[in-house]
């Protein structure tokens, strides 16, 4: 069964438990751990680096939303900055299973949303599925990315994904996480639309060229944005709404608190996220209004 973040922290051994309780109680806590904070956790716990990351996986998994599988997975991505980003799987009842978010996708998107341009390693509860191995192969620095599992030595991603097929095979020189600004604009001055446009300008869509972004406003007026993460194998691509939902979930905001959503995408593109976005929102709450802008 799913446990709360506080319950997950309570399972940690002292003094790590007390240090994490203090860290997570801070109003500034955002499901990330800075390099300095992590160094402090290493010191107080006396654990080795890999052992500490594995020990923290239950805290990441506490963000999991898994009403279908009841299988709660956590992931922790470490960015080039040294900051650690929590992630967890998300499932949505009433829509296709391919709309689900895997824990690795969540942690990677979390790092991307907060400005990381590459990752050093990712720590996961369970061996990554083929879908996630392919998704990770899209990111900047995939050839040096380390995968850490419990009770195993770290391995490079390409040891889990030998003879990989990725962006370079399709002539793409800018992988996922590399900062971009596509320069799109919209005349509308609505804050939610502008947030979705900003996300669209950060999107990664080198195969379909359907630059797209989404923005969610909750009942308290907070806005969470997400951008499209396309993949060389197509199917592991992560839609913009899901990336925005990841941001909202990791801010500890419930899905029931969504007030309205805007989707922005390129006009006349060869694909569209509109129908899938409508389907997910309909399943979450049929009363959620969806704004749509093609630019």
- The sign of the torsion formed by the CA atoms of 172, 122, 281, 254 equals negative
Mean predicted confidence (pLDDT) in 132-149: 98
Mean predicted confidence (pLDDT) in 229-255: 97
pLDDT confidence tier of residue 2, bands split at 50, 70 and 90? confident
d(CA 44, CA 14) in angstroms, rounded, equals: 9
3-state SS of the chain? CCCCHHHHHHCCCCCHHHHHHHHHHCCCCCCEECHHHHHHHHHHHCCCHHHHHHHCHHHHHCCCECCCCCCCCEEEEEECCCCEEEEECECCCCCCHHHCECHHHHHHHHHHHCCCCCEEEEEECCCCCHHHHHHHCCECCHHHCEEECCCCCCEEHHHHCCCCCCHHHHCCCCCECCCCCCCCCCCCCCHHHHHHHHHHCCCECCCCCCCEEEEEEECCCCEEEEECECCCCCCCCECHHHHHHHHHHHCCCCHHHEEEEEEEECCCCCCCCHHHHHHHHHHHCCCCCEEEEEC
pLDDT confidence tier of residue 28, bands split at 50, 70 and 90? very high
pLDDT confidence tier of residue 41, bands split at 50, 70 and 90? very high
- pLDDT value for 148: 98
Mean predicted confidence (pLDDT) in 140-147: 97
Asked if pLDDT for residue 39 goes beyond 90, the answer is yes
Residues known to be catalytic? 104
Residue % of the chain over a pLDDT of 90: 99
Q: What is the pLDDT of residues 188-203, one digit of tens each?
A: 999 999 999 999 999 9
| Cβ neighbours, 10 Å, residue 153 | 8
Q: What is the pLDDT of residues 55-65, one digit of tens each?
A: 999 999 999 99
Asked if pLDDT for residue 166 goes beyond 90, the answer is yes
Mean predicted confidence (pLDDT) in 4-13: 96
């Amino acid at each position: 069964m799913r446990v709360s973040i506080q319950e997950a922290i309570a399972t940690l051994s002292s003094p790590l438990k007390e240090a994490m309780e203090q860290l997570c109680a801070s109003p500034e806590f955002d499901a990330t751990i800075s390099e300095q904070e992590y160094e402090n956790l290493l010191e107080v716990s006396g654990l080795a680096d890999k052992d500490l990351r594995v020990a923290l996986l239950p805290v990441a998994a506490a963000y999991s939303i898994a009403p279908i599988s009841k299988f709660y997975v956590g992931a922790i991505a470490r960015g080039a900055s040294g900051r650690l980003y929590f992630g967890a799987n998300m499932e949505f009842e009433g829509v296709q299973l391919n709309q689900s978010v895997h824990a690795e996708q969540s942690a990677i998107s979390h790092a991307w949303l907060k400005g990381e341009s590459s990752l050093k390693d990712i720590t996961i509860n369970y061996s990554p599925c083929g879908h996630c191995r392919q998704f990770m192969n899209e990111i900047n620095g995939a050839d040096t990315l380390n995968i850490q599992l419990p009770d195993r030595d770290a391995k490079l991603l390409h040891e889990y994904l030998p003879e990989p097929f990725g962006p370079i095979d399709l002539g793409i020189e800018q992988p996922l996480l590399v900062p971009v600004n596509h320069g799109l604009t919209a005349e509308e001055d609505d804050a939610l639309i502008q947030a979705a446009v900003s996300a669209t300008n950060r999107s990664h869509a080198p195969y379909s060229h359907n630059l797209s972004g989404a923005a969610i406003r909750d009942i308290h007026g907070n806005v969470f944005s997400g951008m499209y993460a396309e993949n060389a194998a197509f199917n592991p691509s992560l839609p913009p709404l899901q990336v925005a939902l990841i941001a909202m979930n990791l801010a500890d905001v419930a899905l029931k608190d969504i007030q309205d959503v805007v989707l922005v995408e390129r006009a006349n593109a060869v694909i569209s996220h509109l129908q899938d976005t409508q389907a997910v929102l309909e399943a979450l709450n049929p009363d959620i209004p969806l704004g749509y802008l093609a630019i």
